Chains A and B, each alone.
Chain A
Amino acid sequence: MHDDHDHHHDNHLDPMAARVKALETILTEKGLIDPAAIDVIIDTYENKVGPRNGAKVVARAWTDPAFSDWLRRDATAAIASLGFSGRQGEHMQAVFNTPDTHNLIVCTLCSCYPWSVLGLPPVWYKAPPYRSRAVIDPRSVLEEFGLGLPAETRIRVWDSTAELRYLVVPMRPDGAEEWSEDRLASLVTRDSMIGTAQVKLPDAP
């Protein structure tokens, strides 16, 4: 095997890797960027900012009615109180699932996503199938995620066309009444905070 091969010889880079490398090389030569800054950005979104942030927000909302109320009224401030703020989370709105209404987040025009609480968006969120269908046929989209909603459940789709970024607060699952906030947070998935999943207990079907 020669796994390292592509990483060490420019003439074997794939076309996109070569294009990106050219830009980084030129901008570095001109003193316009600091390559070490890129490393820190990557580390931030690989290791520090991701959906565990959002899961803590949701678990706090489930266990603290005053926080839940604050999150409903001023999500940006409530979320910042837990230490999560900044790029692509400057203007937050939390939307709460109920037995009657299921919320789903999309950005039909680009890839707007609440980075501060969910990290970087998955590929499917940024790709044409999801962006095109979420607003016209969300039920079939949800079924592709394995989520079949009752026919009478209302679906509310939030298209992120401005600078507000949305976080879905899923419903707390039955059977976890005694769980601690940390343990509840471990149940909350990224997809449940986009609206393409619900939160389930580990042994639930």
Chain B
Amino acid sequence: MNGPQDLGGQMGFGPVAPELDEPIFHSEWEKRALGLTLCAGAMGHWNIDESRHARESLHPADYYASSYYEIWTKALETLLERHGFVSREERMAGRSLGAGTAAKRKLIAADVPAVLARGGPCDRPVASAPRFKAGDRVRTKTINPAGHTRLPRYARDKVGVIEAVRDGFVFPDTNAQGQGENAQYVYTIAFDGTEIWGQDADPTLSVSIDAWESYLEPA
């Protein structure tokens, strides 16, 4: 979706302002928000793409006014409500008001090290051969899906060169909507800065994205 998350090339947000000796967390609730997000995800009722889509679906004014742990927490509320785990009334009351969905899994403390060490690989076999090879010139498509996508606006309808053919990966555009993993090959595509930003761009700049095969056509 052309949402608030699609930030590449946007202007007006000011300096980066890195914080000297930044702490890992800025408050206790951020720690709990991280842990809650991971534990709730481990119940197994949504995938990382649905999580990302819940975050980018915040109203833009809310998204830009929120820190990233706030964004995570607000999206987690959405996911827990959508999947029948925690109702709005329960959030207002601050306590359980009855049973909801039964979780497929529960992450217990003893299993955390192994679960984090395993991670969630999302490479998948693809039966067909890759359509493109390294060195091919490709054009990214013009698409404006209302749902989740990982093709940023700044890199649509641009010509670049395939640098690397990656493995097959779960396709986020369908996976986020519960429409299946539909794995496709992913490619690393490099664009000249001038192709993306025009003649005034820094001539020394090149930018790459990792793009699923269906985002691409031969150029």
A residues whose Cβ falls under 8 Å from a Cβ of B? 7, 10, 13-14, 16-27, 29-34, 36-42, 44-46, 49-50, 85-91, 93, 108-111, 116, 119-120, 122-124, 126-133, 135-139, 141, 144-145, 151-164, 191, 196
Contact = CB atoms under 8 A, between A and B. Distances in A.
8 contacts: A33-B40, A36-B109, A41-B39, A45-B34, A85-B119, A110-B55, A127-B13, A128-B10
A40 B109 contact: yes
Given A19-B91, A23-B91, A39-B109, A91 B123 contact: yes
Contacts of A196: 18
B205 A138 contact: yes
Nearest to A122: B22
B157 interface: no
Interface residues of B, number: 94
Given A42-B31, A144-B17, A123 B43 contact: no
Contacts of A120: 24, 34
Given A45-B34, A108-B6, 5 more contacts: A16-B29, A34-B109, A38-B36, A86-B116, A128-B64
Nearest to A120: B24
Contact of A40 (B25, B112, B117, B152): B112
A139 B203 CA distance: 12
A163 B116 contact: no
A129 B68 CA distance: 13
Contacts of B8: 108-109, 131-132, 135-136, 159
A115 to B, nearest CB: 9
